[in-house]
A = this chain, B = another copy of it.
């Protein structure tokens, strides 16, 4: 099978590595608009050929859109248009974006909608670009299929096989639920990390040595603040309503904490921490 990957970054590049070496793809075509990234992807060996968007869509059996969601939402209809122009009903396009509602909405009435399978492989690191690509990135993680009933069953089965090759656990839900869930378990964590980084970096202007004391706990809490704006600006704007709702709940909790500390209310602080400790049942 020929797999065309548009966007040879962390996600696209890591997919390329494992789909090729595990025998799912006999050939990987890569599309990359940044010349530096394109030549890196080629020389690292992430793809067999760097091609144009049009060539990728025409020659691939499966097209993977692995670009930030702002660009993806414009690119998806163009891929389906091109499938339609050549009446290529057996072709498949998937995306890997972190928000799903706008993606599925953008092609809801497209005559070739059934060729599209909306997915979100929930894996990643805070790094980006072809240099960040790595083998085994997806192993053991969850992959969401959104609105799977709108896809052609044969296309769906092929994409399920693709993610099975990547050792991912499939989960099915509608796009709206997906976006609510990810606002809670992914998007808010990024916003809180960004804000934490800004807070401490601000202080560093006066206190040069403040980071000498940074502990492992601090690093882990602030790690996501290294994530790129190219990826996160479109996520936060596309998932605006859900993200705002979560931020508001979060701000309430912060304020409860703040007030308890201001009031020296040890009992209240203790009860908040005990409640928060219930997270132990979720994460190891």
By a beta-carbon cutoff of 8 Å, the part of chain A in contact with chain B is 122-126, 141-142, 144, 171, 180-182, 184-186, 188-203, 207, 209-229, 232-234, 236-237, 240, 243-244, 246-251, 253-255, 257-258, 261-262, 264, 266, 269-270, 272-280, 282-283
Contacts and interface: CB of A to CB of B under 8 A. Distances in A.
Given A184-B210, A210-B181, A198 B126 contact: no
User: Dominant SS at the A interface?
Assistant: helix
A139 to B, nearest CB: 12
A188 B274 CA distance: 17
Contacts of A197: 275-279
A81 to B, nearest CB: 26
A248 B261 CA distance: 12
A112 to B, nearest CB: 29
User: Considering residues A215, A228, A246, A264, which has the most beta carbons from chain B within 10 angstroms of its beta carbon?
Assistant: A215
A182 B243 CA distance: 30
Contacts of A123: 215-216
Given A189-B218, A210-B184, A224-B221, A229 B269 contact: yes
Contacts of A246: 199, 203
A249 B205 CA distance: 14
Nearest to A267: B233
A233 B273 CA distance: 8
B222 A189 contact: yes
Given A125-B216, A194-B276, 15 more contacts: A182-B213, A185-B215, A188-B200, A193-B221, A194-B257, A194-B272, A195-B253, A211-B282, A217-B224, A219-B283, A220-B224, A227-B277, A232-B273, A234-B266, A244-B258
